[in-house]
Amino acid sequence: MTRVAVLAGGVGAARFLDGLVRVVEPSDVTAIVNVGDDMEWAGLHISPDLDTVTYTLADLVNPETGWGLRGESRRTLERLSELGGPDWFMIGDLDLATHLYRTHRLTQGDPLSAVTRDFTARIGLECVITPVTDDRLRTVVRTDAGELAFQDYFVRRRAADSVHALRFDGADSAKPAPGVEEALRSADAIVIAPSNPFLSIDPLLSVPGVRDLVTSNRSKVAAVSPIIGGQAVKGPAADILQSLGHDVSALGVARIYAELADIFVLDETDAALASTIEAETGMRVVVMPTLMTDVETKMALASGTLEAALDVA
Ligand code: FO1
């Protein structure tokens, strides 16, 4: 039995987890998922990262976008648009049922972690998928255009604004969701998924207690670089590295993770950075292909990362 806790954002983390549950017992995996991207849309509670991870592991995800359901229609959204309602966030007709279910349960007083547990069990998943907190936590992005709610920045304005700072509204008083601390404490390995360090991982670490549990278990933590050859596989990570004054490379990410992780998983493209990263950060660098294009590459990345994290030097 190898217990693995994964700090997870959206698409990159979901793909990593899809490999991981094929190389260890799914029930030994706990995905601790970012909720800083959550928002209220037309009165419904949307948890994009929880849904991206869930849909991916259930093999329901839209493979082109990496989020939303495969084979979706958008009739409700079209009608909503005709009525003058909010139409910039692409909610599909079947995805809508997820948001109705979640909002209904939350309105009845159930915590997000319990709703997520029931939802994932219902669609047949054996791994644990949990929000990092049941409390309200919202990423707010400071840009030239002012402070923007996360999805305003990310979807409505297409992540086009330069990011000057981020804050995580509600983080100070948030508590880890039930099971989160125990999953980190009892894990044989903790993986920081190839997610955006600022938009996905930082909100998780901002929940009091989480960062300390990761740093105090540093010897079993592996971080996978989301940057390959100076570019993000998906999303604005490279732009944010630049605008916040970091090196736009895997080295820049490694510096950010130095106090959290003992192992840094670097793509083959960046092999030349390995010795600098090791010398500067004290992390052990593992070089392997990190681009997850199919099931085989996802599994290889998951098993390589795990092997490195379990091999305590
Ligand atoms: N991403 C987009 O770029 N455009 C959208 O309209 C959009 C809608 C959407 C609906 C439900 C959902 O679960 C995710 C959705 N996403 C959309 C993805 C989401 O905004 C981001 O991928 C994450 O928040 C970042 O991890």
DSSP annotation string for 242-276:
HHTT--SSHHHHHHHHTTT-SEEEEEGGGGGGHHH
Pocket test for ligand 1, best of 44, 100, 140, 155 (most atoms within 8 A of CB): 155
pLDDT given for residue 312 in this prediction: 67
Residue 84 has pLDDT above 60, yes or no: yes
Band (pLDDT 50/70/90 cuts) for residue 311 is confident
Instruction: State the distance from the centre of ligand 1 to the C-alpha of 104, rounded, in angstroms.
Output: 21
Instruction: State the distance from the centre of ligand 1 to the C-alpha of 108, rounded, in angstroms.
Output: 26
Q: Which atom of ligand 1 is nearest to the CA of 90?
A: 6
For 155-207, write each residue's pLDDT tens digit. 999 999 999 999 999 999 999 999 999 999 999 999 999 999 999 999 999 99
SS3 content of the chain, % helix, strand, coil (to 5): 45, 20, 35
Instruction: State the distance from the centre of ligand 1 to the C-alpha of 155, rounded, in angstroms.
Output: 7
Task: Tell me if residue 286 falls in helix, strand or coil.
Answer: strand
* Nearest residue to 36 via CA among 191, 166, 180: 166
- Name which residue sits closest to atom 13 of ligand 1, judged by CA: 48
Residue 98 has pLDDT above 80, yes or no: yes
For 240-285, write each residue's pLDDT tens digit. 999 999 999 999 999 999 999 999 999 999 999 999 999 999 999 9
Instruction: State the distance from the centre of ligand 1 to the C-alpha of 152, rounded, in angstroms.
Output: 11
Only one residue has tokens 């991207």, namely 37
Structure tokens at 1: 């039995």
Helix (H) or strand (E) holding 49: helix 48-57
What are the structural domain ranges in the chain?
A: 4-137+170-312, 138-168
pLDDT given for residue 313 in this prediction: 55
Pocket test for ligand 1, best of 154, 156, 163, 204 (most atoms within 8 A of CB): 154
User: Cα–Cα distance between 121 and 142 in angstroms, integer?
Assistant: 37
Instruction: State the distance from the centre of ligand 1 to the C-alpha of 255, rounded, in angstroms.
Output: 28
Helix (H) or strand (E) holding 41: strand 39-41
Percent residues over pLDDT 70 in the chain: 99
Instruction: State the distance from the centre of ligand 1 to the C-alpha of 188, rounded, in angstroms.
Output: 32
Only one residue has tokens 């003992």, namely 262
Q: Kind of pairing, strands 128-131 and 29-33? A: parallel
List ligand 1's pocket residues with C-beta within 6 A. Answer: 9-10, 37, 46, 48-49, 51-52, 67-68, 89-91, 95, 151, 154-155
What dotted CATH number matches 4-137+170-312? 3.40.50.10680
